Structure 1
Amino acid sequence: MNKRLMNRHHVSELNTSATPFLLTGFMGLEKAHHWITILLSVIYISILHGNGILLFLIRVDHNLHKLIYYFLAMLATTDFGMTLVTMPTMLCVMWINHREIRHGSCFLQAYFIHSFSIIESGTLLAMAYDRFVAICNPLRYTSILTNTQVIKIGVGIFMREFVLILPPILPLYWFSYCRYHVFSHAFCLHQDVIKLACADIIFSQLYPIVVVFSMLLIDFLIIFCSYILILKTVMSIASGKKRYKALNTCVSHICCILIFYVTVLGLTFIHQLGKNVPQLIHITMSYIYFIFPPFMNPVTYTTKTKQVCSSILQVFLLPPSRT
């Protein structure tokens, strides 16, 4: 009886204490953390430079002041934000072994991580809509996708993220946490925090799976259907040169879609079905999900999009003309 009371008292102390959560790097590879950090630092700098250059080009080059590039700017901003939210804590954990993170900071990080994922999916959907209108209804492109319409789409993407992500994150501030405060990652994820809560977490467990993943699935299906219609329209064009030109405008976007959704599906598959998969694989897939799309999207658009390549040459490489 006394032992039970002591256990209750211990749990109560943990509930009321402000014990920080502890982040974790690659478990079992602690001796290699410094080498991993060097690689992550190079990737971090590359992501910031790549997305920063895209945003700079879209801002200064009037040839890129088109609707598709405004959506690209949203994509680059999202990737920029995701990197700033996740990479600093990763580097601190593995470089200087700074593992503690306070509850409020952890929940805020989880909110932004999941928010940026929803925003990226919505932005890719908006870019697919832009390509659909441009190819399937080119004569009405400017009348359908006006500046006002683009602003409404952008606001809708951010409002959807706010409405979807806030319900599972807010309860985290009110839950008691009486289990070990150790995460399996070097950043805060909603599913990790929920496992430590001593409360009724059924809603918080089911909501992200049902709502968030169904929303990502709906986005993907709409994008897929839009490209079927685009392909149907392109194949009806008599000129092979025009067909190639029309499809070529979609290559960069298709690459970004594959990069994002393949990593999402890979991470989901590992977490949901890979219970017998080593923990190291789970952690590695999470890192790939947060690093690979922000790293590859600028590379894809700067190498596959003719106008972006021309803009880079004009702004950075070609000397200004002297009058």
Structure 2
Amino acid sequence: MGKIFRNLLLFMVLLALLLFVAPQLIPSDVLKRVVEEQITRVTGMSVEVAQVSIRLLPSVQVYVTDMQLGKTADQTPMLHAGSANASLELMPLLSGELQLNGLDLKMLAIQIPQYNGSGGRLLHISRITGLLHLDLTRARLKKANAELYGGEVNLDAELRRAGNGSVVITGRAKGHAVQVDRLLADLGSHDQLSGALSAELDLTAGGTSAIELLQGLQIDGPVRMRSGKLMLNGITAGYDLIRFNLQTRGMNHRLSSLEAFSPLINATGDILITGNYRLSGRVKAAGMPGLAGEALVAGTIEQPQLIPVAAPASPGMGLNPAY
């Protein structure tokens, strides 16, 4: 009995040693190629990683550094992650599914192109955690949490490969306490708007390349911003609440049914952002003399403008209280 126990113990030690040493025996370029091929197969987009490593004990862990996904019109990565790691579940592999728990991506940057494809901006995300399930035709991101601009976004999304080789993405995102001034600064607008943003958005996209996915992006849902400041035409005014319905189609964004409430002035209107850059629209304000009236929205996100087009409106515009 003692001999059997000693042999079993020896076997377990040798097995543990093998599991520890085995990953070191796999050439790094082989691991790198496998990871790139698998992600490309599911997403349909080119993938490049600088380094891949695997650890088998105490659980299977995959580590990736400097990952680039997709290409924009000027051949810059659509998404870049400084590092990524995840725990690999072994049982789903038997059914052809890759399940990654504890997914953790850090230092992400997403390329946001502007009108005519020039002067793209980078949207920065500090960290994304969640669960990722991959099989032959789809990828599912569950219970994802993104930390960005002082707030967070909860996301569930699915990516499917269609029969014609295209990719279809659907998802739902809920944002909370995202700092608007920090977000807009990365998108090219400085000191124009501040506040805390929350939103509930449905998103879809489809295409055969990163560029087509961006062009086919659709986002719909309500957006609210609270307790901030707005600067237009050299005037800075505090506000309690700004709310609108967001409709994104590619690089064009419509802010419809917009309402703004502040101690001095209330406003309604509709604004269109074309090519992630140019502004147009119309707003109507009531309240403080000199600021009330109707105006056209013009300029760019870097230099927005209000152009008066009518005499000041009467104080009673039929706005409902925000509270």
TM norm structure 1? 0.20
Q: Which has the higher helix share?
A: 1
Higher relative contact order (CA 8 A, sep 6+): 1
